[in-house]
Structure 1
Amino acid sequence: MSAPEKTATPDIPTLEEQERTLVLPSFTYEDAWALGTLLVELARERQAPVAIDITCGGQQLFHAALPGSTPDNDAWIARKRRVVERYHASSYLVGSRFRAKGTTFEDSSRLDPDAYAAHGGAFPLRMSGAGFVGTVVVSGLPQIEDHALVVEALTRFTSGT
């Protein structure tokens, strides 16, 4: 496995800006496949032991588990996805907002930690003119790296590179 890169911890304004800018003009089944396969390619380049999930309107459109991932990653995906579905914000941003208030999501959200996890790696899929339509989730790396991988893929996907 390649040496992990040090990922800078983004602040709340940066996280909010990511969500404002990473908006899709449309999102089809083919787009889910393209975004999912882009995430797989990026993860393979890094030999990242992750699971990847894209869900829209309650339907799983893409799922992949790379070598080194485990069934536990699927449980984390479900928990992080529920946070995004509830708050319509990335799981990392939700957790960061609680930490900024001097508390934790687990201590203050009043949500079951077995069902919800405000750890990085789940990001809302938004369409221009439609708003929140689904989630893209990565699990298997430290939370900031899960988040950064999703943001990198969405940035490439929305820019067409």
Structure 2
Amino acid sequence: MTETDSPRITELRQHEEELVFASFDHHDAWRLGSLIANRAIAAGHGVAIDIRRHNLVLFRCVLPGPTADQEEWIRRKSATTLRFERSTALLSEEFAAKGFDPLQGGWLAPEDYTLAGGSFPVRVRGTGVVAAVTASGLSSDDDHQLVVDSIRTFLKDPAE
């Protein structure tokens, strides 16, 4: 932790260090996506869930409640995660701590990227980031937590 790191930034970095996959294929995407969807259903959350490798969608589920806007949020959130290979929640906190908005001044096009939380990198040990898992429909923090809690559960028992 550096002098400028908040406890939240430290927590978000720990998520990324902790939640690393041994491998990740299309079957894993289906199982993880289904786990997130079942968790959301049990909690009564209306969310859209997406797992993708750049333009290849590996899993998609839209539960009752989200609007058509969630499609755009998912596209922009996952593009941000895949570009920076970090969660949108972490990027949002880090940029805010620096007082810098990459969506202003032409660095990142706001129609293509967002810093709203809810997209998390699928990082495979020894390989790097291979996909993004994204939820949209709740608050940014709740979207992020739904994904993180589900990945944590999946990694404890990937055969479920």
**What TM-score results when the alignment is normalised by the length of structure 2?**
0.90
| Counterpart position of 1:55 | 52
| Counterpart position of 1:113 | 110
Find runs of 4+ consecutive structure 1 residues off by over 3 angstroms. Answer: none
Contact persistence 1:23–1:126 (CA under 8 A): yes
| Counterpart position of 1:16 | 13
How has the CA–CA distance of structure 1 residues 125 and 102 changed in structure 2, closer, same or farther, with 3 Å as cutoff?
same
SS at match of 1:106: coil
Unaligned ranges ≥5, structure 2? 1-5
Q: Paired residues, what number?
A: 153
CA-to-aligned-CA distance 1:96-125 (integer Å, 9 cap, x gap):
111101233433672111110111000000
Question: Residue 99 of structure 1 aligns to which amino acid in structure 2?
Answer: A
Residue 37 (str. 1) matches residue 34 (str. 2): yes
| Counterpart position of 1:77 | 74
What is the CA RMSD across the aligned residues, in angstroms?
1.7
Residue 130 (str. 1) matches residue 90 (str. 2): no
Question: Residue 134 of structure 1 aligns to which amino acid in structure 2?
Answer: A
**What TM-score results when the alignment is normalised by the length of structure 1?**
0.89
Question: Residue 83 of structure 1 aligns to which amino acid in structure 2?
Answer: T
Unaligned ranges ≥5, structure 1? 1-8
